[in-house]
Amino acid sequence: MNAKAKFALALAILSLAVGAGVALLAVGVWSSVSPGDQAVLTRVLREQAALVATGGLLLLAGLGALVALFFKLYVAAPRRLATETRLIASANPDHRLEVRGPGEVRELAVAVNELADRYRSARSDVEGQIAAARADLERERNRLAALMSELTLAVLVCNVEGRILLYNAAARQLLDRPVGLVGLGRSVFGIVDRSLIAHALACVRDSSAASHPAMTARGDKLLRVQIAPVAAEGGELAGFVLTLDDMTRRAEISERRDALLRALTEGTRASLASIRAAVESMLDYPEMESEQRRRFVEIIREEATGLGAQVERAMSESSGYLHDQWLLADMLDRELLTALGRSLDGEAGVRASIDEPGDERWLRVDSFALVRAVTHLAGRLHAERGVDEIGLAVRGVGRHAELDLRWLGAPLDAETLRSWTEQPLGPGGRGAASTLKEVVERHGGELWCRQDEAGRGAYVRLLLPLAEVVPGPPPVNPAVPDESRPEFYDFDLFGAAEHAPAWDERRLDELAYTIFDTETTGLSPSEGDEIISIGAIRIVNGRLLRQETFEQLVDPRRGVSAASQRVHGISPELLRGQPTIEEVLPAFARFASDTVLVGHNVAFDMRFLQLKEAQTGVRLTQPVLDTLLLSAVVHPDHEEHSLEAMAARLGVSVIGRHTALGDAILTGEIFLKLLRLLGAQGVVTLRDAREAARRTYQARVSNSLYARG
């Protein structure tokens, strides 16, 4: 009951009460006087009727005013206070109650204001803490994402079910063949054998090691997989981390090295056998005829020559991979000089001046060992020859680079240089190279010292191999703009339901979706129109994964109508040489496996795909949702359910329309908004959504029948 009604009711009850009192008094007076007086009273009342009525009205008005005042002070004021208190609690914590009215009400207002102050400060404390925690988390996540994308090692993090929670660009580059295997929420067992992971995890459990290495082959690649378990609180397995390394090249090298070693030992043995047998025969049978002896001598000479050639061949072949090849990496000469300069300044106490090389060259070096070794040399020069300044320069000569250390003063004699190069480099070493000599040998290089051309100074020249191919940094996700943080991880999947219930029972917000769209040569699938492009994007855990897209043009093996070409702008030339639907559809099915298919007016696209079932052997059996029908569920009063109209209604910006991927992304953004609205309408599970959509579909069909009729 509102205040006005209460006020009217109170006034009415009060008036009735006063009226009844007056009436009772009148009746009492009336009955207690004599009939004569009654007649007098009657006459007086009749003559003074106006006065009595006016008095009565005045009394009523007075009562009304009294009640109104009372209401204003003691009923309306608390109501106002309640409303405003609610405002403070919900919308505007800075609002304060006006302190006015009678004392009791003022006291209440002051008390509420005090409470509001406390509430505000508590709230801002909590908000600050939440914001700080969130910022921390965000920073950490960004750091993680940046770290992951920088790593050249492929990394995959999975939950205990084997679903991928995190991957980096290197993982995608190494493993995503065929495309669509690497993705958030996808099973890692499509990439790495399940039993291999189980075996490795068992090995870790049974040993003190933190991780277990294993080898696996994928296509023509040999991969080294390092598997480490991730424990949850309480110690049980929550998931595991895989790092993968392409060992193909290393394995090749080690294989070639083995083969070389085998050929060398076996070949040497065979030749030595021939020589030894010939020599021993001659020694044991000195009386043999001269023709036989001549043949043996000839054998010895021939085999000895062959041995020499074989060793020579082995040496030249092995120089490339007999060393610790993988410590060598390609490095720009300029960067090596910079590193050397810094180390000379800092470690050797020598001022380094660098001759900027004109054109850039890639060197194949173990930069760490090399810098350490050269710094050692500079340190000796400084300590024993008083050299304070060293010029550094690199020059390319044929397949080598000359790295020069120049100083003013006398050159080192061969004996001194040899002893310096054989001195241990000191602690902090890595691998086998512990002297400058070994470092140079491992590079297949040479080192000498000469007086310079002008005769005023000297230089030590280091000959280093140039890298054969000029490498560029691998392109890391060129399609991803920098400002968007790559969504390569989703740790919320750690808590994913262990056993997925049947599709229909699952909640819409925990399903994975593939939003897709096709472009076609025309609008009549049954009359020979064909798909010319498929674009798709995934939604996992309520997020549109912009890194996980599928986009492929398809050669329709027929013409494209001018009308549809105007829509999608794909010319027949673009389609020539593209894969055919027989190749594309299986790839798309892999990409969409284990997800609900979503499209706008999806029946059209599904019709095209279904017509290809027999030809491609691909049947998409998963559930399908249509954003057009879902829009009709959410907005039954709107007529217009085109992508543009929905985008406008839901506040989604429209860009990149009319490419299959562009439309898929737009549909995905719209779908995410629809999901929220569906939830508000109590459409929670996939079954709910499908049934609601079916009802609107029937409604639409009957409407259109009706419209046609």
Q: Which residues bind another protein (CB under 8 A)?
A: 265-270, 272-278, 280-281, 284-285, 288, 292, 295-296, 299, 302-303
Helices (H), ranges, 244-366: 248-284, 290-318, 333-343
Our CB check for another protein shows the closer of 293 and 400 to be 293
* Contact between 340 and 305 (Cβ < 8 Å): no
Q: Which of 556, 559, 606 is nearest to 581 (CA)?
A: 556
Q: How far is the CB of 290 from another protein (least distance, A)?
A: 14
Residue 402's beta-bridge partner residues?
395, 463
Judged by beta carbon, residue 305 or residue 353, the one nearer another protein is 305
Residue (125 or 266) nearer to another protein, CB = 266
- Measured from the CB of residue 310, what is the shortest distance to another protein in angstroms? 12
Q: At residue 213, what are phi and psi to the nearest 5 degrees?
A: -90, 150
Q: Shortest approach of another protein to residue 167 CB, angstroms?
A: 42
| Measured CA distances, 69 to 1, 13, 73, 99, 106 (Å) | 19, 16, 6, 18, 16
Task: Tell how strand 329-332 and strand 212-218 pair up.
Answer: unpaired
Backbone dihedral angles phi then psi of residue 357, each to the nearest 5 degrees: -70, 140
- Least CB distance to another protein at residue 309 (A): 15
* 516, β-bridge pairs: 536
Would you call 192 exposed, middle or buried from its count of C-beta atoms within 10 A (0-12, 13-18, 19+)? buried
User: Who contacts 48 (Cβ-Cβ below 8 Å, separation ≥6)?
Assistant: none
Judge contact between 627 and 600, C-beta under 8 A. Answer: yes
Nearest distance in Å: CB 266, another protein: 4
Please, which residue, 93 or 267, has the CB nearer to another protein? 267
Residues sharing a CB contact under 8 Å with residue 669, sequence separation 6 or more, in sequence order: 544, 647, 652
Smallest gap from Cβ 276 to another protein, in A, equals 4
Identity of the residue, 141 or 295, whose beta carbon is nearer to another protein in the bound complex: 295
Nearer to another protein, 86 or 301 (CB): 301
Element at 447 (helix H, strand E): strand 446-451
Q: Which one, 286 or 475, has the nearer CB to another protein?
A: 286
Query: Cα–Cα distances in Å, from 685 out to 244, 537, 625, 689?
Result: 38, 22, 12, 6
- Phi first, then psi, for residue 514 (nearest 5°) are -115, 115
Cα–Cα distance between 108 and 100 in angstroms, integer? 10
Q: If we measure between CA atoms, which residue out of 426, 406, 401, 395 comes closest to residue 352?
A: 406
Contact assessment for residue 520 and residue 179, using Cβ atoms and an 8 Å cutoff: no
Indicate the residue among 149 and 281 with the shorter CB distance to another protein: 281
Q: Is the peptide bond before 178 cis (omega within 30 degrees of 0)?
A: yes
Min dist. Cβ of residue 253 to another protein (A): 21
What is the C-alpha separation between 29 and 382, in angstroms, rounded? 133
Q: Compute the least distance from the CB of residue 294 to another protein, in Å.
A: 11
**At its nearest, how many Å lie between another protein and the CB of residue 249?**
26
CB of 280 to another protein, least distance (A): 4
Nearer of residues 38 and 292 to another protein, judged by Cβ: 292
CA dihedral (177, 181, 182, 184) in degrees, to 10, reads 160
- Assigned token pair, 317: 């072949």
Q: What six digits make up the tokens of 441?
A: 């040998």
Instruction: Report the residue number, 176 or 302, with the smaller CB distance to another protein.
Output: 302
- DSSP letter string over 8-21? HHHHHHHHHHHHHH
- In contact, 210 and 226? CB cutoff 8 Å: no
658 given a catalytic annotation: yes
- What are the backbone dihedrals phi and psi of residue 412, each rounded to the nearest 5 degrees, phi first? -80, 140
Which among 199, 323, 499, 658 is annotated as catalytic?
A: 658
Distance CA 101, CA 71 (A): 12
Strand partners, 156: 167, 242
Q: Which of the 8 DSSP states describes residue 80? A: H
State the nearest-atom distance from the C-beta of 289 to another protein, in Å: 11
Please say which residue, 292 or 319, places its beta carbon nearer to another protein. 292
| Alpha-carbon distances of 552 from 11, 170, 234, 585, rounded to whole Å | 79, 22, 46, 10
Beta carbon of residue 247, minimum distance to another protein (angstroms, whole number): 24
Rounded to whole angstroms, the Cα distance separating 112 from 581 reads 71
Distance of CA 143 to CAs 133, 140, 228, 478, Å?
Answer: 15, 5, 21, 20
When the beta carbons of 265 and 615 are compared against another protein, the nearer one is: 265
Q: Among candidates 218, 82, 238, which has minimal Cα distance to 163?
A: 238
Q: Are 78 and 6 in contact (CB under 8 A)?
A: no
Amino acid identity of residue 504, one-letter, is D
Residue 288 in tokens: 């043999």
Check: CB of residue 406 under 8 Å from CB of residue 458.
yes
**Distance between CA atoms of 580 and 557, rounded to whole angstroms?**
8
Cβ closest to another protein, residue 194 vs residue 294? 294
In the structure encoding, which two tokens stand for residue 490, read together? 């989703």
What's the min distance (Å) between Cβ of 314 and another protein?
A: 15
Residues recognised as catalytic: 658
